[in-house]
Chains A and B, each alone.
Chain A
């Protein structure tokens, strides 16, 4: 039946080649229209199951909160230049109105200046009430010292979390600025003015207004986009625009370096690299395949026609995918390269046999008929087996693997069908055309791989030796394969030297937080607060942002109102003023010395407690206790006051005159006892935490360190899960994906092996042949992993998918060889290897060329994927040549011996 159909089709193509070609071209045009609808979804979350709660939550958050799509500008360098640079580019970026609505790189003082004290803890408010009774310099310093001792020495819980450690550093920074202002008034009264005093007040109340690291070496700008990361075109365009601004401005700031980071620039980088890789690898694969073709068949026109046939297959496959899925994801984006490597195989088998037959048969039609019956069954079985193996991946719960299976399954079927329909017609049309042009019969060059025939003869003579050697090699590679390691670090998949990735490390180092944050939504402010409080206790969490930072739960606000009113009352009255004079100057110096002691004791405890950043900041004020000649800024200030008391008294009173009313006014304003509601929030803050419907509140959780190694990721995930199983974001999604892919990969591999065996059983109508056919596949898989381990390579998130794929790909060699054995007879090993062996070698080489082109990809995940498949295809070819002929040789010689014995 199959043979009759193949013969009929061969006759039709021989009679009406142009009609067949035109028909296929019409289908190709329609497919191209469908293919143009394909979109690229390049997020890791796109690989998760469609209904996965974490993926769904992630998508909802990204869609509902634009703030979840981060776009950061990371500036490094000298402090003043960084700040000037940030001020300069902020204006430029704001001109990009189509992409950015805000640039946050300074504290939003407007809201805090009206409500700050309602946001403070009740215990802190009680302390402030004492502290603000007299804002003159001496009482204020006395209160600071009292508070300092109580806060950081008396209560060891003060620095119990990372956030509080950072808060301690910010507070010390505020003191440092205040002391510097005092120093400037004393040492350089000409430049000391009310602006300097205002600035000291601001730093005292709010800390450094810029989002700058505690060591003042890194400044962060957070760009609020008008779009979400889902809008890929805007990801690319906005990143390009900001990079252009940086490039334009940077030459004016020689002590500054700047780059972009965050989800949006990373998405752009990934998209660009993958698209570039996809184009380059596809072209390279096509060129390599063509070159192999030309070198093997010693003709140039046929390979070009085969390439044309292949490209038509790809367009039709893409059209099919446009209809079936409508998208490509991170895993399926390289389908064209994979199909070039695989799809050309069918053409090779047809061209190879057609070349052979054309030297035997009298006319093209007969040669094509004979070609189709010889190579057709093998092609159909191989394609169906490969496609079935790929379609088996569709049972995976992971969307990435599922789509990979569907895409490649459809692709293989399209490539096979197109080749079976189109290529015979092209070959016949070409011959007719050439004959018409040259007016003489077309001479088909026929190239034989005689060495394969020799190998076949040697194996047929000593099958046992070859089998034992093959088994020993397999045993060695099995041992290696068992010990192969898995690389869980997702960043090792990214292109090397990617600035967006490198800057993540800069952010982690400078700010103790990773921009790869986790997120969760809650139904109320109270729930946001509760979850955040729990999360803050987790050791791997650096910072948690939530709506309660701006609108505390009602019960907390009610607790605070009395204290806030009290503070307003205190600073609202004119109160007492203490002028500095000869009479009390010693009190001032005593308090300064006390502050020096307090900061020293704090640094000692920070040193013992391992709080390095607090220790470092304290040392920057009081000097390094381990350096004998280190100077304390405070003690130096005291010395200056003592050396020139008259001038110091005058200047410090001047300082007090400037800052005191300003400080009083600001504290009065901050002590606003009106309960804060959502309506009081500036819109940009509200939109960061509350969705448009106003029924969900976003909590953003920043890990403390890089989370892209499995151990850290698992630990973080455990901590997040302990608080809420709903928490999503890049780290939980990635871990989830690793686990799902591991499980799906194993199931898919086993299932494809079973399916392949069943299909071969049906095809050969013999279980023995089916098992024989699958032997080189299984041993080839073992060799593949063993070779990888031997060369120090590891499995990773992407290349692990090559394992189930190689089941579908690697089976082809065995199928073709066995079919030829069936056609020629089991004792014809040299013939089989010389003829089909040639085609199998060539198909393996072209497949390896296709996958090998992926090894040039800058996206390292794809490069390792290509490397694994190249190894796998090569291994499957060698095991096919070694195992099948030697096993068949053994079986036939045994049978022969039995017959002779009988």
Chain B
């Protein structure tokens, strides 16, 4: 259920992005900042402490129809633990997904059958075929730093914002899926506004593009309210929109348990 998994990963990613501005004050708009420093800061900032929100996700199905889901999300431990509970449509209401260990372990709960099933292990390293998202896409868990060499290019404006432009080239020894990644990182808050992913075998073939926009400051934190991953090869997309979000929250650990899923 590849699309099932990619949706979870997008949620994790968005959770990371949500707290992107937290530790970047000291680096605010420094022109002499290096590519590695930008990448390091971006990576560090993509790990929010806690968040709770309501979001929608829109996918394109295999028969070309659009389908929108609404769900509630909880995240703790800088993305180490996440839980999402579907609210709409009625058919999936109450269905819950729990992700632990940076989404290496994933469980799902089906309210009608009252069963909790383990879905996957080692999701982070797993290659996701034919999907719009993979864990690696998100640049979480140091993937961008470990797997790629970063080069800072001439700054550019994107989405009307001044951005650092980075080119990440896959290291020779790396097994990363993409040969090249281009990032446009907002100078003000280090949110990656646009990320282009290039085919593993062809550095000129753009496979996917992530676009984050509608950035609002919520509880002093700049937050992109909409993120969309476009698959340029099959012309599909997966889009997410935040309806409500709060960071000022103390989530109990028992939310992120089998019992928490069923609650």
Contact = CB atoms under 8 A, between A and B. Distances in A.
A351 interface: no
Interface string A5-18: 00000000000000
Contact of B61 (A157, A160, A539, A611): A611
A607 B89 CA distance: 11
B97 to A, nearest CB: 9
Interface stretch (A196-204, A644-652, A710-718, A758-766): A710-718
A83 interface: no
B115 to A, nearest CB: 7
B24 interface: no
A537 B155 CA distance: 35
Interface in A498-539: 512, 534, 537-539
Given A538-B233, A609-B3, A156 B120 contact: yes
Of the listed residues B4, B95, B126, B231, the one surrounded by the most CB atoms of chain A closer than 10 A to its CB is B4
A715 B3 CA distance: 21
A160 B60 contact: no
Interface in B43-101: 59-63, 65, 67, 69, 86, 90-92, 95
A653 to B, nearest CB: 30
Contacts of B119: 153-154, 156
B26 interface: no
A719 B233 CA distance: 7
A808 to B, nearest CB: 39
Nearest to B120: A156
Contacts of A161: 129-130
B30 interface: no
B61 A612 contact: yes
A161 B130 CA distance: 6
B129 A605 contact: no
Given A156-B119, A159-B2, A722-B202, A537 B233 contact: no
B127 to A, nearest CB: 8
B145 interface: no
Nearest to A609: B3
Contact of B113 (A601, A607, A718): A601
B203 to A, nearest CB: 11
Contact of A159 (B1, B60, B126, B234): B1
A604 B112 CA distance: 10
Contact of B2 (A156, A607, A625, A723): A156
B75 to A, nearest CB: 19
A608 B234 contact: no
B223 to A, nearest CB: 25
Contact of A611 (B7, B62, B236): B62
A722 B1 contact: no
Contacts of A722: 199, 201-202, 205
Given A601-B110, A611-B62, A712-B235, A160 B115 contact: no
Given A605-B4, A715-B232, A600 B92 contact: no
B117 A153 contact: yes
B258 to A, nearest CB: 16
A597 interface: yes
Interface in B1-49: 1-5, 7
B62 A718 contact: no
26 contacts: A156-B2, A156-B119, A157-B128, A160-B2, A165-B62, A512-B62, A539-B130, A539-B233, A597-B115, A601-B110, A601-B113, A605-B4, A606-B1, A607-B67, A607-B91, A608-B4, A609-B3, A610-B62, A611-B62, A613-B62, A711-B235, A715-B235, A718-B233, A722-B199, A722-B202, A722-B205
Given A604-B95, A607-B67, 20 more contacts: A155-B120, A157-B2, A157-B128, A160-B2, A160-B129, A161-B129, A539-B231, A539-B233, A539-B234, A539-B236, A597-B113, A600-B112, A600-B113, A601-B113, A608-B92, A609-B1, A611-B1, A625-B91, A626-B90, A626-B91
